[in-house]
Chains A and B, each alone.
Chain A
């Protein structure tokens, strides 16, 4: 994200002391540890993502400010027209906007990986004797944290302006968890773009081309019953519709079995298809 390095003083004459050969020898002759397992490698990369959030807290603004804006904007802009009042509309809208924001946030996984390639960091990781996907899994672990933060902030704002989910705490938690599963799966799309294209801007462009229509051609904003037939067909076969319906159902305290099943199914498909394509690309890089 930050391409400029303000503190860059490369090339300056620095007065570094010579490297004492005694301790260098010690490092060179140290025992070589056995490689870490897949889980500890992934966790180490997850730790890296946390550190990144610690050092660049600004990036959290991307996942909080925009979603809050969307909630407020849509609630007050459309609420009166679509549902009679903003307060009524937010009961329908909030779960959907939550899905939309988190899905948009998956784009950052791709950007982060693209940055790693750009800066040569990925080369170093690929030189390590580790389970290769752990780099990507670690990124995704960090992203899940980011999605959780985005969800919490939006829910808090929603509660402030009158969102009262019938499902109570269990319903809301279940909805968020389901969304996190889907977001993890959907992230592989952004990850694939991150490996596929040359720069950050293209990652954003490609991701938006996918995310934008998916979000708007869904039931996030309005009940599909008001749409023409052909559009309804489209909307009903959009994975985002299934996710939004499932999350809405859970938060409303219903048990939307079919939609939950669809969501999990879509997640599995995304992981299998985009996960494997991404891994292929990653191995070949």
Chain B
């Protein structure tokens, strides 16, 4: 308030706590979201994402801590918060018995539009969201993708400055997911702020500028994508051999030049080696100019020995790997790198 040049953060939460009985569903969550950005809250099922969002949106009273939205306290200034916020919950929250049109006209009127204005806006919204033909059908006949769209559309009726999207793409087919992502990009391009929760690592990777990883009601890591990845390791080398004959030799070369553990993939031609930051247990590869330098030395060595490599990529660690590393670290000294998903890092594919 005192400093006019620094806008209030869209979201500022300090030590948020929510308990259900003896269970601490949210256990001291701090979050700060800058205006005009997409913020990703990443966590597995039951981590406390929905509970956190509901407290931030003023739907659930925190048992501890406090939260401010654009500087307004979510408990004491709930009305001021509501005027500027939209929420699309994890589960559809429209009246299934009414038609899409009726739902939007109702919500439009309740947002303060006069009868005619509410109707015009509903028509415009349905057209924009590709639901014009379904406008007169009861929402219970809609497909999952249609409902999600209508739900997101309904959250935009009051032109909110901050939009909460609780797992907006869970259960959608890839095409619909892409469309939701595109919408989020457009929304943020208008200077709006989006707080998004998800279980999908590639989703925050694609959309969010900052990420909080939460697990068991606590934030276990927070930062930009780059910071998070850097905190876990430099990345991984994936390569595919022309044939399996000299696979064991190739493994040895990689282990030696990269100073890293080599994994066999289910595909007998594929090998993956995780590279750490080169400080500590890096062994042979330490202090030689980073992951890229070591990777190119490994390639040169393979070529010198006449082992043909069909494809090679050096990826940043995927957020999948980040998440596993973070949760494993908390759980104790468990091995990192069990069952990571398809490479979601920034890959440079190259055929030799």
Residues of A within 8 A of B (CB): 2, 5-21, 23-36, 40-41, 44-45, 47-48, 51-52, 55-56, 119-121, 123-130, 284
Binds A, one of B151-159, B279-287, B294-302: B151-159
Return the contact of A28 from the options B58, B112, B159, B175 (Cβ within 8 A). Answer: B159
CA of A128 to CA of B146, assembled, Å: 22
Residues of B within 8 A of A (CB): 54, 57-59, 61, 79, 82-83, 85-87, 89, 91-98, 102, 106-107, 109-113, 117, 121, 124-125, 127-131, 138, 140-147, 149, 153-154, 156, 158-159, 171, 173, 175-176, 179, 182-183, 186-187, 190, 192
Known A10-B143, A19-B129: A44·B182 in contact at CB below 8 Å = no
Residues of B within 8 A of A124 (CB): 87, 89, 93-94, 107, 154
Residues of B within 8 A of A45 (CB): 110
Asked if residues A36 and B192 are in contact (CB atoms below 8 Å), the reply is: no
Asked if residues A27 and B143 are in contact (CB atoms below 8 Å), the reply is: no
Known A7-B141, A10-B143, A25-B186: A44·B128 in contact at CB below 8 Å = no
A30 to chain B: closest residue by CB: B159
What number of A-B contacts does a CB cutoff of 8 Å give? 166
Asked if residues A33 and B117 are in contact (CB atoms below 8 Å), the reply is: yes
Return the contact of A11 from the options B54, B91, B109, B171 (Cβ within 8 A). Answer: B171
Residues of A within 8 A of B141 (CB): 7, 9
Asked if residues A51 and B93 are in contact (CB atoms below 8 Å), the reply is: no
CA of A119 to CA of B97, assembled, Å: 11
Asked if residues A36 and B112 are in contact (CB atoms below 8 Å), the reply is: yes
Asked if residues B102 and A36 are in contact (CB atoms below 8 Å), the reply is: no
Known: A19-B183, A20-B128, A127-B87. 20 other contacts (CB 8 A): A7-B138, A8-B140, A14-B146, A19-B179, A24-B128, A28-B159, A28-B186, A32-B112, A33-B117, A47-B109, A55-B98, A119-B93, A120-B91, A120-B93, A121-B94, A123-B87, A128-B82, A128-B158, A129-B83, A130-B110
CA of A262 to CA of B239, assembled, Å: 86
Asked if residues B82 and A127 are in contact (CB atoms below 8 Å), the reply is: yes
Known A28-B159, A52-B98: A125·B124 in contact at CB below 8 Å = no
Known A19-B129, A48-B98: A120·B92 in contact at CB below 8 Å = yes
